[in-house]
């Protein structure tokens, strides 16, 4: 018998539980859950009821250990493995000591009420997360289920981004006797609602930013220190973002490479290192506007600023390649399989990259981009400064 049973419970409470879940709760010596969840249990459930403390996560290992040897049940909302407590308990105790009994998730119930196919819907969890995480999901025609943010907050973000014509549906207390569904748009007034609400969004209007690297240059605020669109796309391709991996963006400028690395997958992480405080502030502005508020920004001069950072999986050096010891520090920080990409536009920095290429290997590439522009009444090519790029993989 597992030490802990994690039981999903819906707004319908005890009557909505399967017989197996009810039996485990009746047999339990200790029951953990929110006060609201514990109040859903009938008197026949006689175990000791312990409301969760706040904050919960730091206290969770100690609570579980304190009741080891007793029959413990944990109440969770709906499916405990979807943005729920079940995954956290499994990480602490391991699968051999935990059994999870899921209930229908609020997402499943919402899709059933709306007539939406779940595989065509994006679920955006904002519980305990900055609301700017919603930004990358806003594209015309997309359907979203937003958890952890009220309708007024979601509507405000939509309107700010030009999506005020989007249709909103607020679904409260799904499956319970107090179930309520309200419809409106992002432009509608939305009073405070139930904490157990899901906000469903049908995105309409607004700009559509691509999901692949190479966002338009005007998507960023910058002072000219920006890896331009075409070069940025090539740079990200060589850095090869992988879910869960960490990038150092050294000499970040506007932070565009770090931002687009993190936009590649929600689990991608990045640190932008920038010595200029004004530019560091712009990086924060760009990160918030483009939906990666978790971008870490280190204000300092490399290589000294790199010493305390966690080890990277990839490093981009967009400026300062002639700084003594910089490339040495970046290369040494990489584990086998780590990627280093450095760009240069001056003869001096090109010489540094050529020397590293001769010593370490990798690829040395010259990137030249020209754009059509007016010359009098005609059109001609206007070349941008060529960029020499060195890319190498640590063996």
Q: How buried is 224 (Cβ within 10 angstroms: 0-12 exposed, 13-18 middle, 19+ buried)?
A: exposed
Q: Are residues 321 and 254 in the same domain?
A: yes
Q: Are residues 177 and 256 in the same domain?
A: no
CATH number of the domain bearing residue 251: 3.40.50.150
Q: Are residues 80 and 177 in the same domain?
A: no
Q: Are residues 275 and 290 in the same domain?
A: yes
For residues 27-32, give the mean pLDDT.
96
Q: Are residues 124 and 51 in the same domain?
A: no
Going by C-beta distance under 8 Å and a sequence separation of 6 or more, which residues neighbour residue 193?
150, 151, 170, 172, 182
Contact between 316 and 247 (Cβ < 8 Å): yes
pLDDT tens, position by position, 202-252: 999 988 899 899 999 999 999 999 999 999 999 999 999 999 999 999 999
Q: Are residues 227 and 343 in the same domain?
A: yes
Q: Are residues 225 and 374 in the same domain?
A: yes
Domain boundary among 142, 170, 202: 202
* Residue 212 in domain: no
Q: Domain residues for 358?
A: 217-393
Q: Is 94 helix (H, G, I), strand (E, B) or coil?
A: coil
For residues 80-85, give the mean pLDDT.
88
pLDDT tens, position by position, 270-314: 999 999 999 999 999 999 999 999 999 999 999 999 999 999 999
Q: Are residues 155 and 233 in the same domain?
A: no
Q: Are residues 69 and 132 in the same domain?
A: no
* Residue 209 in domain: no
Q: Are residues 224 and 189 in the same domain?
A: no
Helices and strands per DSSP (H, E), number in the chain? 11, 19
Q: Are residues 87 and 151 in the same domain?
A: no
Count of domains for the chain: 3
């Amino acid at each position: 018998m597992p030490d802990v049973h994690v039981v999903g419970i819906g707004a319908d409470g005890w009557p909505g539980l399967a017989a197996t879940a009810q039996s485990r709760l009746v047999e339990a010596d200790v029951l953990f859950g929110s006060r609201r969840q514990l109040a859903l249990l009938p008197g026949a459930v006689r175990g000791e009821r312990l409301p969760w403390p706040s904050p919960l996560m730091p206290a969770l290992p100690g609570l579980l250990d304190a009741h080891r040897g007793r029959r413990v049940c944990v109440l969770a909302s709906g499916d405990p493995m979807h943005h729920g407590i079940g995954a956290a308990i499994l990480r602490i105790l391991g699968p051999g000591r935990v059994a999870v009994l899921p209930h229908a998730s609020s997402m499943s119930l919402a899709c059933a009420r709306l007539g939406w196919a779940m595989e065509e819907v994006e679920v955006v969890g904002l519980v305990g997360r900055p609301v700017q995480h919603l930004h990358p999901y806003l594209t015309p025609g997309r359907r979203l289920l937003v958890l952890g943010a009220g309708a007024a907050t979601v509507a405000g973000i939509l309107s700010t981004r030009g999506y005020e014509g989007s249709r909103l549906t607020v679904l409260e207390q799904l499956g319970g006797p107090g179930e309520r569904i309200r419809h409106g748009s992002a432009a509608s007034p939305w009073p405070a609602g139930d904490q157990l609400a899901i906000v469903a969004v049908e995105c309409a209007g607004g700009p559509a930013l691509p999901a692949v690297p190479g966002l338009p240059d005007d998507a960023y605020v910058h002072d000219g220190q920006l890896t331009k669109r075409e070069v940025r796309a090539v740079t990200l391709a060589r850095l090869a973002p992988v879910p869960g991996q960490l990038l150092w963006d050294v000499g970040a400028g506007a932070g565009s490479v770090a931002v687009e690395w993190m936009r590649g997958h929600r689990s991608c992480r990045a640190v932008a290192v920038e010595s200029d405080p004004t530019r560091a502030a712009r990086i924060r502005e760009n990160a918030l506007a483009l939906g990666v508020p978790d971008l870490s920004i280190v204000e300092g001069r490399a290589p000294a600023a790199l010493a305390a950072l966690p080890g990277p999986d990839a490093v981009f050096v967009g400026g300062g390649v002639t700084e003594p010891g910089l490339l040495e520090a970046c290369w040494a920080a990489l584990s086998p399989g780590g990627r280093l990409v450095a760009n240069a536009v001056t003869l001096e920095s090109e010489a540094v990259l050529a020397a590293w290429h001769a010593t370490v290997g990798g690829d040395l590439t010259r990137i030249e981009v020209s754009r059509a522009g007016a010359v009098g009444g005609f059109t001609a090519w206007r070349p941008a400064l060529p960029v020499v790029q060195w890319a190498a993989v640590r063996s």
